[in-house]
Structure 1
């Protein structure tokens, strides 16, 4: 018998054989590319700036008239309420309610944001605008004064990058605000140089085309090439100038209104400013084809599949089929760059939609284990609640930040779990054949990273015999539940799983003791 091969650098250390198979070797470089791409599977923390951190210089801002009528400055402890009354410009009066948060106050909480494992900080619009939501820009090139200045933004960008995070801004390029000086001039002066920025015609109810017929949001005439130059084509355009100033990308508001071709133009323009920039669009559509013209989408389709499952409108088997088809249609690369959302500024908060704690936890488990970027809306990690706009935009409840807060503790547990398991971030996915549970396998080129997720969305205990689809796991291998520590035996490619009502299991191979038989000894 020949002697074992040894390393030329150390004759006492045998070279470890490589047991990776052909599939492992083909998948490994794909995973490496995903891991090196900051746009793949990040954790995105979403902040509504006015409501995130109370400023220290509030009295100075008041003395500058930044909250003069029709605006109202609210106490941080006040809760936003809807006001059906509209002002003369068509804005509902609660859109004039402010709480005072700004760019400088946000900088004081970057350590907290980083502690959540955040990769990208995403801000709602910060352009100069009349309302608190800023989707009615009056001037794209200036920051709304109550938020700060371009210099304040520059300081924030530097601080974020020093925290090893990225920053993305909200780009609202389908419409502007009724109070914009450009629109005012266009609507009042038939010879205005800005007239062709808009679609002004008596055939429209308000005399001009507006988004969702909201008078305060006149739509832009993007078919005007000069306007496109201003918004994204020129080096000094809105899209490119902010990127050249250091932001890392744009989230495109109502991207479905922009259309495929203009989104593609925006992406190419952003790439000219920074080849590594990111464009993610807001879509309440089926995501296929849209992912061909941008890095990813805000995946509301996936959100609704998860919610329909928890609302018992579909079974686990249907959810698996729907998700599998979606991922097949958009491809894994686009899926990993798309943001998985449970709540945001346009929806009721998660705790409002699912006051039942176990159902809410199932929603979070799916968000953190399905392929995609986790988009965490500020305060959801603390258990903030609230219905639709404006209740979902309440000031941040810093009083809830405590290690004894069970919602915060559970969210941190999921964050840590996802950070520690490469398969949950950039791995492939197989959906498993079930009847009532939702089950899927996330895997890489390494057996120890395989992760199996089972979701029971029903009020009954479920017992299912499920093929696990992992070719490397032999009959004697047990799977350990990372949530409970419970062990499950595998046999001939099956898992016999029992799930209590509204529960989940996250399973991974439990390696045998070094001194016992190990069927995994020659698999990678």
Structure 2
């Protein structure tokens, strides 16, 4: 990495991560709550679509529903899908895997999986799966055998057993064995066991060979074994050199983003900084420093491979966090689609779906447009179209232009060769007039246009004058 011209952040080539990640617009789908395409596979006592979400109350979403609404995703501008777990499990979230080699029958089957993969690939889109390898469910074959055979089980060393007999079902925390966060329903695998390592590596290879375009790895830091992750990466990249690996790491930590671990991380620190600023808990200058600082701690290929999201199944919804304020939500997305990394939309955030802490953040998608929030959906369509139409927004260097802490204004540029895009934000409750220095971008008297509404702007005295409403923003190029 190199620093040029003060606040210009330039990352030299070559790339070592999948090139397509720089062009990716991700959409995260919680399968049970996106769309019900085949009621025949609904479990007994399925809840009404849109009922208050619970951990074990299924609402019937499935892979066929995603297939039937794929045109909706394409129309939005999506070209990459991250699916929450789709393997056999007993809960709606499916992080308690029963069978890593089987699509959950409540979601469909292998024919539906292949149909989704084929549909995505025909439309130049990718599908990334959720890999939950730190722990399993109680119905996983090896843990079942352990429960039945105790100390005589050939799988006793597949888990972290403290003493027999195991108590896996009575109320309370896991004591006889290690469970993720002490949950009895989520027994932790023992990665010191070579059989466990080989089993998980086989799972990773199997789904890549069947067309998946990568893995999002759940709590990988809890498998605190660099050698295992290096081997995991080798296995996946051998099966498909363009497969991506995204790690769920909640803090900024360069240990996990490199050529022996993951291509990118779920970049929650960006979300944290944005929400703090948008909600008045931090000022714009510090937000700009944080946004810029996060670009300096990783190699270029990893910066541009980050999965940058404003919400997920594990967080409160963006609309809820911003008090339902449409103007704040729209500005948050304007920033997201201009920031380095692969922007990601959590299903429903593009129409202003509300939701508190999980499981409330996993509400069913409302397919009636009358329930969608204002003009948020077309706004995202426009932002995504702008990003997909500008190489500088996808893979350009970042340059800070100005920060006006007193007025809440922040402007930066993305530069790739001769293509330059200016991004300006007013992170305040008052309209603001700002003069942005652009002598390093454009010549005097040059006329530029807003990418979202085609308004003209002319360089005068080395600056561009912009008037922004409260919580307004603009792309100029």
Judge same fold: TM > 0.5, yes or no: yes
Cα displacement (A) at 1:462: 3.6
Which of 194, 212, 216 is the aligned partner of 1:225?
194
Aligned 8 A contact 1:41 1:371 in 2? no
Give the corresponding residue for 2:385. Answer: 416
Could you report, residue by residue, the CA deviation over 1:430-485 in whole angstroms, capped at 9, with x for unpaired residues? Answer: 12232322221111111xx31111111122334444433x5352232244333455
Which of 355, 358, 383 is the aligned partner of 2:327?
358
Which of 78, 91, 113 is the aligned partner of 1:131?
91
1:383-422 equivalences under 5 Å are 383-400=352-369, 406-422=375-391
Alpha-carbon distance between aligned partners in 1 of 2:257 and 2:432, rounded to the nearest angstrom: 36
Aligned 8 A contact 2:50 2:365 in 1? no
Alpha-carbon distance between aligned partners in 1 of 2:199 and 2:193, rounded to the nearest angstrom: 10
Aligned 8 A contact 2:17 2:263 in 1? no
Q: In structure 2, do the counterparts of structure 1 residues 196 and 337 end up closer, same or farther at CA, with 3 Å as the change threshold?
A: same
Give the corresponding residue for 2:169. Answer: none
Aligned 8 A contact 2:248 2:266 in 1? yes
1:246 matched to 2:211? The reply is yes
Which of 457, 462, 465 is the aligned partner of 2:427?
457
Give the corresponding residue for 2:234. Answer: 268
Q: In structure 2, do the counterparts of structure 1 residues 32 and 43 end up closer, same or farther at CA, with 3 Å as the change threshold?
A: farther
Cα displacement (A) at 1:215: 1.9
Aligned 8 A contact 1:381 1:408 in 2? yes
Give the corresponding residue for 1:111. Answer: 71
Alpha-carbon distance between aligned partners in 2 of 1:465 and 1:170, rounded to the nearest angstrom: 45
Alpha-carbon distance between aligned partners in 1 of 2:46 and 2:65, rounded to the nearest angstrom: 16
Stretch moving more, 431-440 or 278-287: 431-440
Gaps of at least 5 residues in structure 2 are 165-172
Could you report, residue by residue, the CA deviation over 1:481-502 in whole angstroms, capped at 9, with x for unpaired residues? Answer: 3345544443454444443322
Could you report, residue by residue, the CA deviation over 1:165-222 in whole angstroms, capped at 9, with x for unpaired residues? Answer: 1111100011111232321322441121111111011598521111112221111111
1:179 matched to 2:148? The reply is no
Give the corresponding residue for 2:415. Answer: 443
Alpha-carbon distance between aligned partners in 1 of 2:444 and 2:196, rounded to the nearest angstrom: 65
Alpha-carbon distance between aligned partners in 1 of 2:279 and 2:51, rounded to the nearest angstrom: 32
Partner secondary structure for residue 97 of structure 1: coil
Which of 119, 124, 134 is the aligned partner of 1:164?
124
Larger radius of gyration: 1
Give the corresponding residue for 1:99. Answer: 59
Aligned 8 A contact 1:287 1:301 in 2? no
1:305 matched to 2:273? The reply is yes
Q: In structure 2, do the counterparts of structure 1 residues 35 and 287 end up closer, same or farther at CA, with 3 Å as the change threshold?
A: closer
Partner secondary structure for residue 190 of structure 1: helix
1:140 matched to 2:108? The reply is no
1:200 matched to 2:161? The reply is yes
What is the root-mean-square deviation in Å for CA atoms of aligned residues? 2.7
1:369 matched to 2:338? The reply is yes
Aligned residues: 454
Q: In structure 2, do the counterparts of structure 1 residues 478 and 378 end up closer, same or farther at CA, with 3 Å as the change threshold?
A: same
Q: In structure 2, do the counterparts of structure 1 residues 500 and 28 end up closer, same or farther at CA, with 3 Å as the change threshold?
A: closer
Alpha-carbon distance between aligned partners in 1 of 2:334 and 2:52, rounded to the nearest angstrom: 29
Q: In structure 2, do the counterparts of structure 1 residues 150 and 465 end up closer, same or farther at CA, with 3 Å as the change threshold?
A: same
TM-score (norm 2): 0.88
Aligned 8 A contact 2:17 2:305 in 1? no
Stretch moving more, 127-136 or 379-388: 379-388
Partner secondary structure for residue 65 of structure 2: helix
Aligned 8 A contact 1:403 1:409 in 2? no
Aligned 8 A contact 2:383 2:452 in 1? no
Cα displacement (A) at 1:121: 1.4
Stretch moving more, 34-43 or 172-181: 34-43
1:425 matched to 2:391? The reply is no
Give the corresponding residue for 2:167. Answer: none
Alpha-carbon distance between aligned partners in 1 of 2:351 and 2:289, rounded to the nearest angstrom: 32
Could you report, residue by residue, the CA deviation over 1:40-72 in whole angstroms, capped at 9, with x for unpaired residues? Answer: 24001111111111133x2x435xxx43xxxx4
Give the corresponding residue for 1:14. Answer: none
1:55 matched to 2:47? The reply is no
Aligned 8 A contact 1:475 1:491 in 2? yes
